[in-house]
Amino acid sequence: MDAAHLLVVDDHRDIRDPLAAYLRRHDLRVSVAADAAAARTILNTSAIDLVVLDVMMPGEDGLSLCRHIREVHDTPVILLTAMAEQTDRIVGLEIGADDYVTKPFDPRELLARVKNLLRRAAALPRERAEPGALRLAF
């Protein structure tokens, strides 16, 4: 079986790059994006199995991108953010995130959450659109 392909979206290189390296050491394929625009490009051109997404980014924020992902993909999303208030967590989950992890975080815990979501997603019957494919819903 091919390694799962994750997309890590965070505007802070000091979080994004070490996290991507950690996930790669655990046999996951990882693409990275510094903002929502770059993430949208990757989502449209690659088959992504799970997105780890920062909320507070310049330009389009992570909540808006999460909403977009939920509208056009069935890809699981973990929000990774410094926003730790209960209301923030609830809003993140209500707009479509599958999980919510606050910074600072333990990479091992995040990896466990990633593996859990990937396992659950693999168990579900799923229509996976090819990258760039048109999807119609009536």
Q: Where are the beta strands (DSSP E) in 1-138?
A: 5-9, 29-33, 50-53, 77-81, 99-102
At position 68, the amino acid (one-letter code) is H
The reported pLDDT for the residue numbered 2 is: 83
**Cα–Cα distance, 65 to 63 (Å, whole number):** 5
Nearest to 62 by CA among 87, 91, 28: 91
Using CA of residue 18, residue 26, residue 123, residue 38, what is the dihedral sign? positive
At 37-82, the pLDDT tens digits run 999 999 999 999 999 999 999 999 999 999 999 999 899 999 999 9
At 21-36, the pLDDT tens digits run 999 999 999 999 999 9
SS3 state at 13 = helix
With cut-offs at 50, 70 and 90, classify the pLDDT of residue 106: very high
Are 17 and 41 a contacting pair, CB within 8 Å? no
CB atoms within 10 A of CB 6: 24
User: For the chain, which residues make up each domain, given as ranges?
Assistant: 5-123
pTM of the full structure? 0.87
82, with CB counted inside 10 A (0-12, 13-18, 19+), is middle
Any idea which architecture 5-123 has in CATH?
A: 3-Layer(aba) Sandwich (3.40)
